[in-house]
Amino acid sequence: MTDHHLIETPGAHPVGIVGAGLIGLGWAALFVHRGHLVHAHDPDQDVLAGLPQAIETAIAEIEAVDGPRRAGGRLQCFSGLCEAVNGCAYVQENAPERLPLKSRVLAEIAESAAQDAVIGSSTTSFTARELGEGQARPEQIIVAHPYNPPHLIPLVEIGGAGEDYKPAINFAWRFFRALGKEPVHIRLPARGHIANRLSAALFREAVHIVSEGVASVEDVDRAIVHGPGLRWATAGPFLNYHLGAGRGGLAAYLDHLGPAQEARWADLGDPKLDDETKKLLVSGMNETSGGADIAQLSGERAERLAAIRLALAGKS
């Protein structure tokens, strides 16, 4: 398995980025900021041409939270995938979420990267077993799913498919910790991993609330931002319920308020994303955003994320 030099000496080996869209861009910016030599590839030459400037913008957002970039970090762009990952000790794959495409890309990466390279996939929902099917060295291909935007949100979900994956998982855990990420371990394969499953559950009920006329898109967003979202930035669901029952903690909550929780579960909706519902959601979002474009909204979100992280770190 990949040696420790990549962790202890950033720049000792190149780190590969395959797919330089929104997610790949964030990963690349983080790697460069932490002092790594990044080899980036994207099949879209326009994306590749705009990558250096986009990375500088993202690095400026990182610096607002984590300070100046480390020495030695730099980006090299390659039009060919094999050339980009040649000799890379770690490669982050960010291809579109289509399994046949990902399988082909992962095979090409494994053929040209270092023999013992770890390949992490940013897959939103596929499991390591699915990604490794038919691959020459499946135990070196793991789930390494970030939360968007990956250069600002520390979470990364890491998962394999059995004992053979332990060396790759252990390396990835140490590598991501050295990057300042907060890895969590997906113990068993699950569609959507951990955070996206939780997000999907919340979004399903948000869609149900809007489609049933209980609240508007704007008020659903405001309810989260100014309510549970503030608590979630400091404590997860289990700790919040543990604190919510006073001295008795989670045990008391489950004993006394568990039936009320189950009653709410029974009343949750099961909406469908049909044309009428999609139109309703998009119309509500357009009204809420007030005509602001995606770049403006993303920039504003980045500023708020930086402020939250600084506050949690006790910085001002």
Residue type present at position 254: L
Q: What fold, for 5-186?
A: Rossmann fold (3.40.50)
Three-class SS state of 78: strand
Mean pLDDT of 40-53: 97
Residue 80, pLDDT > 80, answer yes
CB 120 within 8 A of CB 144: yes
pLDDT for res 291: 84
Three-class SS state of 100: helix
Say how many C-beta atoms besides its own lie within 10 A of residue 238's C-beta. Answer: 10
pLDDT for res 2: 52
Quick one: pLDDT band at residue 13, thresholds 50, 70, 90? Answer: confident
Say how many C-beta atoms besides its own lie within 10 A of residue 9's C-beta. Answer: 11
Mean pLDDT of 208-215: 98
> pTM score, two decimals?
0.92
pLDDT for res 12: 73
CB 1 within 8 A of CB 116: yes
- Sheet strands (E) in the chain: 15-18, 37-41, 74-78, 90-93, 118-121, 141-146, 155-159, 182-186
Cα separation, 113 vs 81, in Å, equals: 10
Cα separation, 84 vs 99, in Å, equals: 22
Mean pLDDT of 166-189: 96
Residue 5, pLDDT > 70, answer no
CB 33 within 8 A of CB 69: yes
**What percent of the chain lies above the pLDDT cut of 70?**
97
Sign of the alpha-carbon dihedral angle for 200, 201, 205, 208: positive
Class of domain 195-312: mainly alpha
**Residues 105, 107, 112, 114, Cα dihedral to 10°:** 110
DSSP 70: P
For all residues of the chain together, what is the average pLDDT? 95
Q: Hey, where are the domains in the chain?
A: 5-186, 195-312
Phi, psi torsion values for 68, nearest 5 degrees: -60, 155
Cα separation, 74 vs 32, in Å, equals: 5
